[in-house]
Amino acid sequence: MTVSTEKVVLITGALSDIGRATAQAFASVGYAVALNHRSKADAAACFADDLVRECGAPQALAVQADIRVRVEVAAMFEQVYAKFGRLDVLVNNAGINRDNAFLEMTDEEWETVTDTVLKGTFMCSQEFARRYTGKSGSIINFGATTAITGRKNGANYCPSRAGVLTLTKCMALELAPNIRVNTVTPGRIDTEEVRLRYHTDDPEIRKSFEQDVPMKRMGDPADVASMILYLVESGKYITGQNMIVDGGLLMR
């Protein structure tokens, strides 16, 4: 696939496993890449250098912002435009978990998660859409299978991701035809967070974890990245949709 090297993508939470895979995917087809991070300036700068040296990105920029804070979000977009002069794609990848039992969950745990996942997606998307003047912009949001099924100890996270699913539809309706908005929902993806949460470094646990998946394996972050790139570059008549990348686990 060949695209203009002038196109630019901004990825929030870009140092996560899926964020990194997504940045590498866009770099490999000639996008300039802006990498959002909250507090890891050195790691983000090193990754930006790697995208240029090893992955083919014409340019890469590390940009700090807490996506829960409007003034920082706005400043991030201004920095991206100052560097590149344009922005074509926003990937709202940033997220956080603060699990606790429903009856024990604190206001701080609720607000930290909802502000990051739902409010952060809203503010970043709004700042992007207010500045975008082209005809083929794209916003990719992130869902979760538990936004559909729910889970214990996730009364902050699951509703936040469910809100993103509906927010995607609202934005798709209002921002069409110049900006398409879709959600990508990963299933059991082999990330550091999943390994820590479910102890899947243990071969027996991993085998059990994979048994329910029709594809009989965990997904790779690159599997998610390839769906994102497809929606942006090939899925030109797709908007308002939730694309589930889970090896057939959910089937809804």
The residue-averaged pLDDT of 109-128 equals 98
- Residue 155's closest CA among 93, 94, 97, 68? 97
Token pair 């102890």 is found at: 199
Give the span between the Cα atoms of 235 and 232, in whole angstroms. 6
Residue 217 has pLDDT above 90, yes or no: yes
Q: What is the pLDDT of residue 2?
A: 37
The CATH number of domain 8-189+224-245 is 3.40.50.720: yes
Q: What is the pLDDT of residues 229-246, one digit of tens each?
A: 999 999 999 999 999 999
Q: Is 157 one of the annotated active-site residues of the chain?
A: yes
The residue-averaged pLDDT of 5-29 equals 95
Q: What is the pLDDT of residue 6?
A: 79
Which candidate in 31, 81, 132, 157 is catalytic? 157
How much is the mean pLDDT over the chain? 95
Q: What is the pLDDT of residues 40-73, one digit of tens each?
A: 999 999 999 999 999 999 999 999 999 999 999 9
Q: What is the pLDDT of residues 174-191, one digit of tens each?
A: 999 999 999 999 999 999
Give the span between the Cα atoms of 112 and 4, in whole angstroms. 38
Tell me how crowded residue 195 is: count the other CB atoms within 10 A of its CB: 16
Q: Give burial (CB, 10 Å; 0-12/13-18/19+) of 240.
A: middle
Q: Confidence class of residue 107 from pLDDT cuts 50, 70 and 90?
A: very high
